[in-house]
């Protein structure tokens, strides 16, 4: 049976941006609804140690931090629902969102905090080996490769953190990077280079995920040296692709303006999108900083922008009566 839920403010997404928007909106009396999506808590639920979120002297865990954010949002009056939104109609207010559950959500204002998702290399062999040794989340799947040789592909913070994390399970971790220097922060690079369980293969790209055995499982990666063109085999049973993320904006592509990389465009210094009453925050509109704390910061901005928008609408409606 289809169901209808109406709210002054719907927050789409339950990462640091969405929950922070909800905390501010709830405290401003907007009684927001947060729609969690298929990844409740967002990207930080795929990691372990978080050392750079302010307020915690000791290392905290990503999933724990997100549970605390949800609890805080609910405590101040947010309704959190599990649903995955499959279509949106932003052509008139109230905006309409339709979920997998069959529920239609109507919102006077909308905060989009749908974040970003892991990118894959796009090789057919990679697709074939997903679940058979190819993964995009070491913290989720690393445990399955304890005592085995593994590789991480990429050169950013995620790749380096995943390589370091995997040394908890494996004595032999190979980081494969397409250039001759890493993009990751220096402190992470220092830890990586100091770790004897990790070796780095530079200037190389993966060209094939190699399967073998019955049932079939990953036995290696074929890599090509980008300088010499030489192809060689790295024997690994787990390969973790950590080459960045793509913003979750497909839902809005024909309704809101996106930039050349698919991120939602907002007015400079605000979270206003190209449709009045629709605001965007977090990784879905930020391709530069992409941190939990910046996502939370823009989540706060989105709630304040939405509050101002709704107050102006309500004042105009009253004045017209």
Interface size with ligand NAP, residues (CB under 6 A)? 20
Q: Residue 178 touches which of ligand NAP, ligand FAD, none (CB < 5 to 8 A by kind)? A: ligand NAP
Per the CB < 8 A criterion, the answer to whether 218 and 234 are in contact is no
Of 137, 203, 222, 300, the active-site residue reads 137
Q: d(Cα 66, Cα 214) in Å, to the nearest integer?
A: 39
Q: Residue 273 touches which of ligand NAP, ligand FAD, none (CB < 5 to 8 A by kind)? A: none
Of 83, 108, 141, 286, the active-site residue reads 141
Q: d(Cα 280, Cα 244) in Å, to the nearest integer?
A: 20
Q: d(Cα 164, Cα 167) in Å, to the nearest integer?
A: 5
- Rounded to 10°, the helix 16-27/62-75 angle is 20
Q: Which DSSP symbol is given to 158?
A: H
Tokens at 98, concatenated? 């339709």
Cβ-based nearer residue to ligand NAP, 108 or 161: 161
Q: Which DSSP symbol is given to 265?
A: P
Q: Edge to edge, what strands does the sheet with 150-153 contain?
A: 134-135, 238-241, 150-153, 173-176, 198-201
Cβ-based nearer residue to ligand NAP, 79 or 191: 191
Least CB distance to ligand NAP at residue 108 (A): 33
Q: Residue 39 touches which of ligand FAD, ligand NAP, none (CB < 5 to 8 A by kind)? A: ligand FAD
Catalytic annotation on 137?
Answer: yes
Cβ-based nearer residue to ligand FAD, 9 or 220: 9
Per the CB < 8 A criterion, the answer to whether 106 and 118 are in contact is no
The position carrying tokens 């304890």 is 146
Of 140, 190, 235, 259, the active-site residue reads 140
Within 96-155, which residues bind ligand NAP (CB under 6 A)? Answer: 121, 153-155
Tokens at 290, concatenated? 């992409």
Catalytic annotation on 300?
Answer: no
Q: Residue 13 touches which of ligand FAD, ligand NAP, none (CB < 5 to 8 A by kind)? A: ligand FAD
Q: CA torsion sign, 265 to 269 to 271 to 272?
A: negative
| Phi, psi torsion values for 300, nearest 5 degrees | -60, -45
Within 266-305, which residues bind ligand NAP (CB under 6 A)? Answer: 290-291
Within 160-219, which residues bind ligand NAP (CB under 6 A)? Answer: 161, 178-179, 183, 205
Q: Residue 116 touches which of ligand NAP, ligand FAD, none (CB < 5 to 8 A by kind)? A: ligand FAD
Residue 159 in contact with ligand NAP, rule: CB under 6 A: yes
Find, among 247, 244, 246, 264, the residue nearest to 255 by Cα: 264
Catalytic annotation on 140?
Answer: yes
Per the CB < 8 A criterion, the answer to whether 50 and 291 are in contact is no
Cβ-based nearer residue to ligand FAD, 11 or 129: 11
To the nearest 5 percent, what fractions of the chain are helix, strand and coil?
30, 30, 40
Least CB distance to ligand NAP at residue 107 (A): 29
Q: Residue 23 touches which of ligand FAD, ligand NAP, none (CB < 5 to 8 A by kind)? A: none
Least CB distance to ligand NAP at residue 150 (A): 17
Q: Which residues bind ligand NAP (CB under 6 A)?
A: 52, 121, 153-159, 161, 178-179, 183, 205, 242-245, 290-291
Tell me the catalytic residues: 137, 140-141
């Amino acid at each position: 049976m289809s169901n209808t839920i109406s709210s002054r403010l719907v927050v789409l997404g339950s990462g640091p941006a969405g929950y922070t928007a909800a905390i501010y909106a709830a405290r401003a009396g907007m009684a927001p609804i947060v729609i969690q999506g298929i990844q409740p808590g967002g990207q930080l639920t795929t990691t372990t140690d978080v050392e750079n979120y302010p307020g915690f002297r000791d290392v905290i865990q990503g999933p724990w931090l997100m549970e605390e954010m949800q609890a805080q949002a609910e405590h101040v009056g947010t309704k959190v629902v599990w649903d995955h939104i499959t279509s949106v109609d932003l052509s008139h207010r109230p905006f309409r969102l339709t979920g997998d559950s069959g529920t239609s959500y109507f919102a006077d204002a909308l905060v989009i905090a749908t974040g970003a998702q892991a990118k894959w290399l796009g090789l057919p062999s990679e697709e074939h080996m997903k679940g058979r040794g190819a993964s995009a989340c070491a913290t989720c799947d690393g445990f399955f490769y304890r005592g085995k040789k593994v590789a991480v592909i990429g050169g950013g913070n995620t790749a380096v953190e995943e390589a370091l994390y995997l040394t908890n399970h494996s004595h032999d971790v190979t980081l494969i990077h397409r250039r001759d220097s890493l993009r990751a922060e220096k402190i992470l690079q220092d830890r990586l280079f100091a770790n004897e369980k990790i070796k780095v293969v530079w200037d190389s790209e993966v060209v094939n995920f190699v399967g073998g055995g019955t049932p079939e499982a990953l036995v290696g990666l074929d890599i090509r040296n980008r300088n010499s063109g030489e192809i060689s085999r790295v024997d690994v049973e787990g390969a973790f692709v950590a080459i960045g993320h793509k913003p979750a904006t497909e839902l809005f592509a024909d309704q809101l303006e996106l930039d050349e990389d698919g991120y939602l465009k907002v007015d400079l210094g605000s979270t206003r999108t190209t449709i009045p009453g629709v605001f965007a925050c977090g990784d879905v509109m930020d391709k530069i900083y992409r941190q939990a704390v910046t996502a939370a910061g823009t989540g706060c901005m989105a709630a304040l922008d939405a509050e101002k928008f709704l107050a102006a609408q309500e004042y105009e409606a009253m004045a017209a009566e």
